């Protein structure tokens, strides 16, 4: 039986969401085919083999989220957990599914570690993961490939410090107001704000600079938010298209994870050719970044004009059975458990692709 290592928790702001994704996956994985090895990473980066049962962890309010993975203080944290080192991974598992979201899990760093350890894993590779996490890189690459992205300006901390007035003038003349200000490398809407004036823009920049020295400022699109899933290595398929209807003014952290008023609509109520266009753009956006395994691609559909913009790609999207990505595949005819198995197969396919192994010095 294959030993499937599930990595969860992690150092990012999406630590708790990642545990929910993993708990949900454990219930769906076929226990006759895979032995699940649960590996929790705490917020400081400590790795633990988790023996505790994780069934029924479905809500951010579940107290077990705080105690499941030891915090490293040595205090009793309410569950069997044994420290392990990343170097132990090849001896513990045959395959890794990183159910980690955000920096250090989704952004290529973990993928680089797994490549270095020569362990097959699910999802996008090093470069794709790193680029996909970066809102400046993705927009520049997509724009060059002729794919539609909204108006934007990159802003660097050093330039802003040297000439704040000049940088703000440049944003104003390129985009006007309102604008969205975002750290280039993050997720979960952390550090993101909507600015409606010069004063608001200054505040938004100061806030975003707490998280990254590279920022992106974008024109604000009055839009519906649509998403689809992509699956495959070089030959890719896309899922149904779904819509997020945030309860707040925009899809911020609270409305993402706490607000029951936020609705997920699958399939989205849009014309068939809009859905087709979104699926087509998602596949292109994924392939141009050399996507492998799976990803969720998010779009803006401008209300006044019907124009479609690609907003972002998430290489390890939320993965609970209630999350958008699995729901989109279920709608397309691929149930949750089979979706996970397909991602494992794609990971093995990539691993055994001969050129890749040879190029990395592991022989033919
Ligand atoms: N240019 C924009 N125009 C309109 N709304 C936006 C824009 N950029 C972001 N938003 C809103 O902010 C949310 C979070 O932005 P996003 O770029 O998706 O960041 P994250 O990686 O944190 O999810 C989006 O889901 C959307 O509601
Ligand atoms: Mg988003």
127 sits in which H/E element:
helix 126-132
| Domain-located, residue 139 | no
Extract the tokens encoding 109: 């760093």
State yes or no: pLDDT of 254 exceeds 80: no
Residue closest by Cα to atom 21 of ligand 1 = 187
Residues 280, 320 share a domain? yes
Domain with residue 114: its CATH number is: 3.40.50.20
Asked if 135 and 117 touch (Cβ cutoff 8 Å), the reply is no
Which atom of ligand 1 is the closest one to the Cα of 218? Answer: 1
Burial of 352 (0-12, 13-18, 19+ CB in 10 A): exposed
* Per-residue pLDDT tens over the stretch 181-215: 999 997 677 899 999 999 999 999 999 999 999 99
Residues 235, 185 share a domain? no
Residues 51, 168 share a domain? no
Burial of 18 (0-12, 13-18, 19+ CB in 10 A): buried
Residues 311, 193 share a domain? no
Rg value, the chain, Cα? 21
Ligand 1 center to residue 51 CA distance, Å?
38
Residues 272, 201 share a domain? no
Residues 110, 13 share a domain? yes
pLDDT at residue number 227: 98
| Tally of domains in the chain | 3
Residues 183, 293 share a domain? no
**CA torsion 123→127→129→133, rounded to 10°?**
-170
Ligand 1 pocket test target in 253, 311, 313 with most atoms within 8 Å of CB: 311
Domain end marker among 219, 247, 266? 219
Residues 228, 195 share a domain? no
Domain with residue 281: its CATH number is: 3.30.470.20
Asked if 8 and 22 touch (Cβ cutoff 8 Å), the reply is yes
| Domain-located, residue 146 | no
pLDDT at residue number 355: 62
* Per-residue pLDDT tens over the stretch 60-112: 999 999 889 998 887 655 568 899 999 999 999 999 999 999 999 999 999 99
Residues 348, 244 share a domain? yes
* Per-residue pLDDT tens over the stretch 346-361: 999 999 986 666 666 6
| Domain-located, residue 361 | no
Domain with residue 160: its CATH number is: 3.30.1490.20
Residues 231, 214 share a domain? no
| Domain-located, residue 360 | no
Domain membership of residue 173 as a residue range? 151-219
């Amino acid at each position: 039986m294959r030993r499937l290592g599930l990595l969860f928790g992690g150092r990012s702001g999406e630590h708790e969401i990642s545990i929910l994704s993993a708990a949900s996956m454990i219930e769906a994985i076929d226990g006759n085919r895979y032995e699940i090895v649960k590996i929790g990473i705490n917020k400081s980066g400590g790795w633990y083999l988790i023996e505790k049962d994780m069934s029924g962890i479905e809500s951010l309010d579940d107290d077990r989220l705080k105690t499941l993975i030891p915090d490293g203080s040595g205090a009793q944290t309410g569950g069997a957990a044994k420290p392990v080192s990343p170097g132990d991974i090849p001896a513990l598992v045959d395959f890794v599914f990183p159910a980690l979201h955000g920096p250090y899990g989704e952004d290529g760093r973990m993928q680089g570690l797994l490549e270095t350890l020569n362990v097959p894993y699910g999802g996008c590779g090093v470069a794709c993961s790193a680029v996909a996490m970066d809102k400046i890189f993705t927009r520049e690459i997509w724009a060059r490939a002729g794919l539609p992205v909204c108006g934007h300006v990159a802003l660097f901390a050093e330039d802003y410090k040297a000439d704040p007035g000049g940088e703000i003038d440049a944003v104003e003349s390129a985009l006007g107001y309102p604008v969205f200000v975002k750290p280039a490398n993050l997720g979960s809407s952390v550090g993101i704000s909507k600015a409606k004036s010069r004063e608001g823009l200054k505040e938004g920049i100061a806030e975003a600079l707490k998280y990254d020295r590279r920022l992106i400022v974008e024109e604000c699109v009055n839009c519906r938010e649509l998403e689809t899933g992509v699956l495959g290595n070089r030959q890719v398929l896309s899922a149904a298209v779904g819509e997020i209807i945030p309860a707040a003014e925009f899809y911020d952290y609270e409305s993402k994870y706490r607000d029951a008023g936020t609705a997920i609509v699958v399939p989205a109520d849009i014309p068939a050719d809009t859905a087709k266009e979104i699926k087509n753009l998602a596949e292109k956006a994924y392939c141009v970044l050399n996507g492998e395994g799976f990803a969720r691609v998010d779009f803006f559909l401008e209300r006044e004009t019907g124009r479609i913009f690609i907003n972002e790609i998430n290489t390890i999207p939320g993965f609970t059975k209630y999350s958008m990505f699995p729901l989109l595949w279920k709608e397309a005819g691929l149930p949750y458990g089979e979706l996970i198995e397909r991602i494992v197969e794609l990971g093995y396919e990539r691993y055994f692709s001969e050129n890749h192994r040879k190029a990395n010095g592991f022989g033919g």
